[in-house]
Structure 1
Amino acid sequence: MNTERMYEVLRTPVISEKASTQTENANQVAFEVRSDATKPEIAAAVAKLFDVTVKKVNTVAMPSKTKRFRGFAGKRNGWRKAYVTLGDGDQIDFLGSVQ
């Protein structure tokens, strides 16, 4: 896989309460990924970009939601989330050493 595709596959890390809990308890990191990305592509991109060992990748399709604003119905786009399980001793710190 070329470098451009790696940067396109991983869109952004997911920073939420559940993702933080998964990082602490199960050594997993959550990413928002492209809808057409495959699990091997996600694993290769994380391994190469962050220099870590990837054990497993689980993906979840987050459905689109219908929302109302001032009486008009609108729709939020759906997206795809990947939980990447890292190898023993590996860690990705997105916030750096914030104190």
Structure 2
Amino acid sequence: MDPYEIIIRPVSTESALERIEKENKLTFIVNLKANKKMIKDAFEKLYNVKIEKVNTLITSSGEKKAIIKLKKEYSAAELATKLGLL
């Protein structure tokens, strides 16, 4: 699956923005069929960062949300600024 098909869009809710600043995590809506390894590989390829961990959940509206924790040497706030979230 193409990385652009896996990563759909960033989430910019208040709790997602708080995670960026406090926990070095980014939140994205991803393809429902993507697994954690696919999400990790696609995100690393698209944004040239290394990922420590991926957590996923299905929202009540039926979308799959991925909470992506970056490794310590990468800044979620810096990447969020490039994406226009902050």
Q: CA deviation at 1:89?
A: 2.5
TM-score by length of 2: 0.87
Residue 34 (structure 2) pairs with residue 37 (structure 1) = yes
Partner of 1:73: none
> Following TM superposition, where does structure 1 have runs of at least 4 consecutive aligned residues deviating by more than 2 angstroms?
none
Distance 2:6 2:68 in 1: 13
Per-residue deviation, 1:95: 1.2
Instruction: Find the partner of 1:15 among 12, 15, 20.
Output: 12
Q: Which has the higher strand share?
A: 1
- For structure 2, list consecutive stretches of 5 or more residues without a partner in the other structure: none
Aligned residues: 81
Please state which structure has a larger fraction of its residues in helix. 2
- Provide the identity percentage: 32
- Rounded Cα–Cα distance in structure 2 between residues aligned with 1:55 and 1:24: 16
Deviation at 1:40, TM superposition (A): 0.3
Question: 1:75 maps to what in 2?
Answer: none
